[in-house]
Amino acid sequence: MLILSLPPQPIPPLVVGLVVLTASTDIVCRRIPNAVIAIGLVAAFVIQAFLFGPVRGFGDALAGTLSGFALLLPLYLLRATAAGDVKLLAMIGAWVGPTMILHVALTAFVIGGVWSIVWTLYRGRMQQFLLNLWSIAHGGWRLQQNGLGTTSGIKSVGTLPYGVAIAAATLVTLFMSTV
């Protein structure tokens, strides 16, 4: 079992503030502002360089950013998540590094998955949800993407502000880490 160490101060409270802010704007506006992402990224690189030195700090922040970006990019390409969510996970990765961002992403997948199933059941759209999964599993999304066929079975069952799941996963991961 891998035990994660809590990042040094002041990283945890700054990350908590950023994810609460982004989750709030995602709930209210259904978007995550690029300005918040940009400020968060710049601050992460500066603070990482200050805490760990310019080479290690910049390297860890860059590795975390690229890891966070890479973890959600496939879902963005499948249109399962929005660009703001990808940028949010990349920004969080700059703060917490590549190892912890993997845990954040996996936790977000679980939280987001459970939340989407509950929401789909609540809205009475489970049959369409299962049909969508079946179509995707059988390559229907490729046909639709390339315009080569009709996949009339794939229809949206609704959207969720996934930034909330990412924020919750970040909080869970931070609070489950050891000091």
C-alpha span between 53 and 3 (Å, rounded)? 24
User: Which tokens hold the place of 105?
Assistant: 């992403």
Cα 19 from Cα 75, distance rounded (Å) = 20
Tens of pLDDT, residue by residue over 110-119, are 999 999 899 8
What global pTM score does this model have? Answer: 0.85
- The Cα–Cα gap between 17 and 4 comes to 21
Q: What is the pLDDT of residues 146-176, one digit of tens each?
A: 554 454 557 777 788 999 999 999 999 999 9
Helix (H, G, I), strand (E, B) or coil at 79: coil
Domain definitions of the chain by residue range:
11-110+161-176
Q: Contacts from 41-49 at CB under 8 Å and sequence distance 24+?
A: 41/65, 41/90, 41/91, 41/94, 43/14, 44/91, 44/94, 44/95, 45/94, 47/10, 47/11, 47/14, 47/95, 48/94, 48/95
Ranking 27-31, 60-64, 101-105, 149-153 by mean pLDDT, the lowest is 149-153
pLDDT 10s digits, 116-146: 899 889 988 888 888 877 877 777 555 455 5
Confidence at residue 161, expressed as pLDDT on a 0 to 100 scale: 93
In whole angstroms, give the CA distance from residue 7 to residue 147.
47
Contact, 49 vs 129, CB < 8 A? no
